[in-house]
Chain A
Amino acid sequence: MLSISNLHAAYGKVEVLHGISLEVPKGKVVTLIGSNGAGKTTTMRAISGMIKPVSGTVMLGGKDITGLDSHRISRAGLAHSPEGRRVFSTMTVNDNLLLGAFPRLTRSRPKGDVNGDLEKAMELFPRLKERRTQLAGTLSGGEQQMLAMARAVMLNPDVILLDEPSMGLAPILVEEVFRIIRNLKERGVTMLLVEQFAAAALKVADHGYVLENGRIAVSGPAEKLRDDPAVKAAYLGG
Chain B
Amino acid sequence: MKKFFFILFFLTFNSFTYLNALDVKEVNYYKNKKAWLVNDGSLPIVAIKFAFKAGSSIDVEGKKGTANLAALLLDEGAGDYSAKEFKKILADNSITLTFTVSYDNFYIDLYTLKENLDLSFQLLDLALTKPSFKFDEINRIKSNIKLVLEQSYKDPDEIGSRLFREILFKGHPYQYDVLGLPEDIDQIDKEDLKNFLQNNLRTDNLYIAASGDISEVELKKYLRKYLTKFDKKNMKEFNVPLHTKEIQHKIFFHQKDLRQSKIFFAGEGVSRKDPYFYPAYVMNYILGGGGFFSRLTTEIREKRGLVYSIYSYLYRYDKYNFFSGGAETSNKNVDTVIKIIKKELIKIKKKGVTEEELKNAKNYLINSYVLRLDSNKKVASILLNTQMDGLNIDFFKKRNDYINSVSLNDIKKIANRILDENKIFFLIVGSPTNLKNINKI
Binding partners A and B: no
> Measuring CB to CB, which residues of chain B are less than 8 angstroms from any residue of chain A?
none
